[in-house]
Structure 1
């Protein structure tokens, strides 16, 4: 056997040296990016149109420790705002983290504030074109809330058809930010459709629209002028111009304050500034695990969907909220900017609005500590979550978990006879 040439031997030594210097990278590659225990109970696509390939991507996590039989365990549906942002974030059983601040490496860790502790949790990438959802053409992306409601109804009924037990489970639609328009849209659509369907095919529906948002506008002459312009354009039905005026006002406020984000003036950096969620969901192994086409590029927020719904931004859905609050089977929970919410709630055409406005605001505590405030009467609840910005599950995960569980189960300050 011939001896190895010197230059080949030196190459071999170099290769061995490289291996010894990079053991972590090699071992990391052998570890599953998406461990089995983190996989959703169900996931895939829900069609919204029988004649096209357009579909909403969903992930469903069953309740971890339900208090009732599965057939009676509530299901929470989570919708993100934007418009055009993916719903797969914030309050699920797993959080994306970057160990030792290495943004090039992301991993999953358990979320103690997950909303699927007692309930099933369904994430819908809505509207089509958002996240991993598919829009067969740009023209099919919704441009108004009626189309949003129609697509969500198709997706939800398709999801219910996956398992007979879903037929009897109460469904609560929850949201954040611009999702405050999606919830009354689907609620309005479901209420209308249920009236036309036999009992066996109706959606067992309850509604929940919530979350503390941002109101930090300084009372300066210029801001007030821009605000008046936006209001005037809205009243005139000049939807694109009204949205432009709103954007200009918010951008000016951002420049004036120098804040990292208007969603929470306390933060020194924006939420998920490194884009860890997008990095994780764009991993090829993660896409394969979720049954997503690996060529798809996951974007936290879609510019195409945002553009399609741009004229819808300044259109009111107050009449839908009024309709839902009047339904005796519906409870409506609002938190998206305390001052702005209270301003439009006062103008609601609902026979109980006077008593709601006169109801005492109660101090809300979790484990003996101040969590916020609750004002409630009849089917309407308004909750202020203390110490939170726009993304409440991120800022106050355990308190948001306590809030949704008590609200759904009618416990504590959310009990019917409490106010």
Structure 2
């Protein structure tokens, strides 16, 4: 069955994208992960990868065309021949959402928060049907396989419809909300299944009050189904970090029946629960701290070589490339802290050309502290929201540390990450092999 290639949403408020160039031609074979084309938004230019293998067919957009988000631009088919027609219906129609029952207004789609993301799990709606909203306000939180990201509304107006509930997964490009310019007379919300089948009537909007009392459990906020969560605890990144700092276990809220997802305000409720159950279980795995010594620092020489031979003059870019590639997967966002500033880098692969600075605003997968030019010799600051690599200078070499919470990665994965990074810093040519 052909796989539609759509214009992805690479930014929170992106409506269109300009195709800069195609890396594949019609009829070319493609493999999953191959770069198909480059897209320019108002912030950056990024490569769009193939989500499956086959042949590129039905290319209906050329370099320089500005394409609306969610529109089909090509297909990946089992054979190199084009199909007779490519449907350009709006996502609301192709996904079975009857236009006759959905209010008119600006569509909010499930954004692509990563190059290989097919769908996103709706963690929480920050707005209810009928609420006013501005383009820069947070409309919902989305969980991908890497992080939880806050998604802005992207339009000014009023929430006319929510077409998926928290705890449900929606494919990238699927319409999940409608924002109208005027306050709607009958705003509604419904599940994604109802939106697809168009068989269930619209449900009246219901408020989602915060948790206020420790007992009895308040269940006025719709809770995701157990099958959707599969044992996971849904919480905002800030709530997770503060719970870790206060030595609180968010699972206690779930065991007492408090509906997810959890936010910072819910930590006050957690602290009011009986003392014997608010602390993390004594058998919980501890935070991980690993350290490695690199006797011969080959990184500085590699920077000189890269400057002369490849014209790469930014050492921070190379450092981010080494760290991101050490996770042994593509499309890693690295937050590099150096000289009191933080910059985000997208590491798409192992090649030096596969790393670039980004302003996407996506949550990082890995944090890297470049402390080579300071006076620190050792560091143990404790786990952060994501795993943290630190680079410190020693006499003729480097000290590398990795700190992370036990929930971030297992012991074997942590050892592999630090070992890969140490190997690259000691013998940088390993990065190119």
Please indicate the TM-score interval, normalised by the length of the shorter structure.
under 0.3
Greater RCO, CA 8 A, separation 6+? 1
Q: Which has the higher strand share?
A: 2
Q: Give the TM-score normalised by the residue count of structure 1.
A: 0.24
Q: Which has the higher helix share?
A: 1
